[in-house]
């Protein structure tokens, strides 16, 4: 006989309190009774130890993160089906409409109440990542729906991130909608960039930094240094206000793309060096090479909580040497995209590096990701990007 009732997950009292306070995740350690289902990414009812309803969630068969809350309403009040998910997608797109950008994040996972789904738009192309079993099981439908809602010609699946390993999901890159190459252009302020959605890192570019790129272009001056440049986002922005900019990028393919982007935009004052930023900083700090503006935007150095201490040591070394490369009154923009490193710990590390460099600094701005990457209240992990704008006195 077919099942007529929704599978139910009973959670501990601690887990119930956390979900009711606004945290949308529940780890398997807080699961008292798993739901009776073998469906991948099933939608299940969630109840507390006494059987009182909490809501409905995606259930993962193997991930340590067993439940991702979708709604605080029960199935009798709100059915979680394709119509439900389509409405959530429509709302996510509507929230971004006032931003009027051709390169932005259009779905930001839990913050848009679409747990485990991240979608970036680059012109007529969409790049999609699923980091939950529930969304992974539905990504073909999500791709078709988003193509219909946005008019995108291509939707690329970029499920090759390390977060998939934690969820016990296979890594893959493939075209879900459209045919042929997936190369698109988008703007960051007045600069035009090209991305290959099937071949470049992450979803193609680092759209969470776009507003910070533009801000750097407003503040920069003199000789600029952009470390971990990738496709030249900070470097090309700095080029509008700096006399010259040296962009340092270790990946040869990314460095070549940065050169092409500089040429495309006529940024003749940008030079791209294919080199390791640690080595370059060490050489500059020892040789006495100095800059008026330095941007430090390294990759995430702490993937897991147990790696935070090691990551902070690496961040400290980078920030220390970068500060030594600044001329008096120089501008320093330093970033961390490690979600496991909190804003307070990051700022404490930067100020410690400044003290070790024997530099007094002013904190001009504390920044984060753009408005298209909102933070979900109750989920601190969604505030992962930290940016400090400093002046070294």
Closest CA to 291 of 262, 248, 233, 259: 248
Q: Are 61 and 105 members of one domain?
A: no
Q: Are 176 and 251 members of one domain?
A: no
SS3 140: helix
Q: Are 375 and 305 members of one domain?
A: yes
- The 10s digit of each residue's pLDDT in 196-251 is 999 998 888 999 999 999 999 999 999 999 999 999 999 999 999 999 999 999 99
pLDDT at 175 over 90: yes
Per the structure, the count of domains in the chain is 3
Token look-up 């897991």 returns: 304
Angstrom distance (rounded) from CA 232 to CA 265: 11
Q: Are 163 and 297 members of one domain?
A: no
* pLDDT value, residue 288: 93
pLDDT at 32 over 60: yes
What are 261's two structure tokens?
A: 């982007």
Angstrom distance (rounded) from CA 120 to CA 266: 26
The answer to whether residue 195 sits within a structural domain is no
Helices (H), 117-228: 133-136, 139-150, 163-166, 210-219
The answer to whether residue 253 sits within a structural domain is yes
Query: Averaged over 322-330, what is the pLDDT?
Result: 97
Least reliable range by pLDDT among 86-95, 117-126, 332-341: 332-341
Instruction: Select, from the ranges 300-314, 316-330, 378-392, the one with the highest average predicted confidence (pLDDT).
Output: 316-330
Higher pLDDT, 327 or 378: 327
What are 294's two structure tokens?
A: 């330095």
* pLDDT value, residue 38: 94
Q: Are 226 and 365 members of one domain?
A: yes
Query: Model's pTM, two decimal places?
Result: 0.93
Q: Are 278 and 217 members of one domain?
A: yes
Question: Predicted confidence band at 254 (pLDDT cuts at 50, 70, 90)?
Answer: very high
- Known catalytic residue: 337? yes
Q: Are 222 and 356 members of one domain?
A: yes
Query: Averaged over 340-366, what is the pLDDT?
Result: 95
Q: Are 303 and 341 members of one domain?
A: yes
The answer to whether residue 1 sits within a structural domain is no
Q: Are 337 and 382 members of one domain?
A: yes
Closest CA to 229 of 335, 307, 319, 149: 335
Q: Are 374 and 267 members of one domain?
A: yes
Integer Rg of the chain from CA: 23
Quote the domain boundaries for residue 357: 206-392
Q: Are 169 and 227 members of one domain?
A: no
- Domain's final residue, options 155, 185, 215: 185
Question: Predicted confidence band at 341 (pLDDT cuts at 50, 70, 90)?
Answer: confident
The answer to whether residue 194 sits within a structural domain is no
Indicate which residue of 157, 325, 335, 337 is catalytic: 337
- Domain's final residue, options 185, 218, 236: 185
Residue 281 belongs to domain with CATH number: 3.40.50.150
* pLDDT value, residue 1: 32
Q: State the chain's maximal CA–CA distance in angstroms.
A: 78
State the pairing for strand pair 386-392/361-367: antiparallel
For residue 28, give Cα distances in angstroms to 35, 65, 77, 286, 304. Answer: 12, 6, 26, 50, 17
Closest CA to 214 of 365, 370, 373, 327: 370
Q: Are 356 and 269 members of one domain?
A: yes
DSSP H or E run through 362: strand 361-367
């Amino acid at each position: 006989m077919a099942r007529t009732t929704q599978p139910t997950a009973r959670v501990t009292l601690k887990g119930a309190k956390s979900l009711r306070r606004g945290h949308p995740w529940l780890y398997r350690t807080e699961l008292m009774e798993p739901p009776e289902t073998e469906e991948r990414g099933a939608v299940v009812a969630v109840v507390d130890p006494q059987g009182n309803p909490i809501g409905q969630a995606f259930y993962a068969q193997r991930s340590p993160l067993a439940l991702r809350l979708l709604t605080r309403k029960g199935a009798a009040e709100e059915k979680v089906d394709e119509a439900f998910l389509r409405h959530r997608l429509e709302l996510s797109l509507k929230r971004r409409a006032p931003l009027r950008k051709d390169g932005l994040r259009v779905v930001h996972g839990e913050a848009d109440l679409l747990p485990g789904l991240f979608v970036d738009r680059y012109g007529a192309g969409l790049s999609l990542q699923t980091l939950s079993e529930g969304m992974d099981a539905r990504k073909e439908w999500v791709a078709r729906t988003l193509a219909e809602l946005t008019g995108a010609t291509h939707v690329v699946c970029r499920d090759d991130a390390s977060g998939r390993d934690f969820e016990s999901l296979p890594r893959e890159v493939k075209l879900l909608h459209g045919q042929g190459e997936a190369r698109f252009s988008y703007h960051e302020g007045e600069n035009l960039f090209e991305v290959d959605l099937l071949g470049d890192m992450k979803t193609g570019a680092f759209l969470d930094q776009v507003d910070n790129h533009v801000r750097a272009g407003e503040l920069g001056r003199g000789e600029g240094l952009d470390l971990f440049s990738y496709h030249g986002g900070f470097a090309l922005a700095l080029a509008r206000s700096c006399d010259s900019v040296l962009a340092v990028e270790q990946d040869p393919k990314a460095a070549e793309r940065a050169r092409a982007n500089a040429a495309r935009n006529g940024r003749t004052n940008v030079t791209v060096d294919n080199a390791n930023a640690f080595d370059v900083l060490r050489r500059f700090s020892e040789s006495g090479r100095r800059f008026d503006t330095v941007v430090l935007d390294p990759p995430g150095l702490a993937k897991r909580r147990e790696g935070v201490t090691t990551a902070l040591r690496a961040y400290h070394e980078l920030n220390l040497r970068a500060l030594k490369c600044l001329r008096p009154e120089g501008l320093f923009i330093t970033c961390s995209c490690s979600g496991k490193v909190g804003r307070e710990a990051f700022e404490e590390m930067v100020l410690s590096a400044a003290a070790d460099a024997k530099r007094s600094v002013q904190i001009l701005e504390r920044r984060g990701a753009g408005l298209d990457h909102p933070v979900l209240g109750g989920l601190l992990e969604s505030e992962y990007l930290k940016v400090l704008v400093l002046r070294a006195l």
